[in-house]
Amino acid sequence: MINAADLVDNDFLRQFELKVDDHLAKIEYSLQERKIFLTKLVIPEEINSTKFQSDFITVVFGHIEERNLSVVPTSPEIAKFIRKNKRYKSMLPVGVRI
């Protein structure tokens, strides 16, 4: 399991980062008002697995939830994650459906 304390919110590059060994997994975002648009998921092949991807997105969603932001997933992988994990649908803004 990924430790939430290892997650870095890089405001300058507008991405959530998680370093594993010498590899950097990231989710790029755009912040507008009280909405965060998750635009791109990048996980190096060396550490990419379904479990890692799911754990990484879960940690990022926990961070977003703490900031009380709505999530607009423009990345197909993140939209698929929300479809599989119905509890995160409540984080979608009004009018956005997955």
pLDDT band, very low/low/confident/very high, at 1 (cuts 50, 70, 90): low
Question: Domains (ranges, CATH) in the chain?
Answer: 4-91 (3.40.630.30)
Give residue-wise pLDDT tens across range 5-35. Answer: 799 999 999 999 999 989 999 999 999 999 9
SS (H, E, C) 13-66: CCEEEEEECCEEEEEEEEEECCEEEEEEEECCHHHCCHHHHHHHHHHHHHHHHH
Model pLDDT for residues 57-87, shown as the tens digit of each residue: 999 999 999 999 999 999 999 999 999 999 9
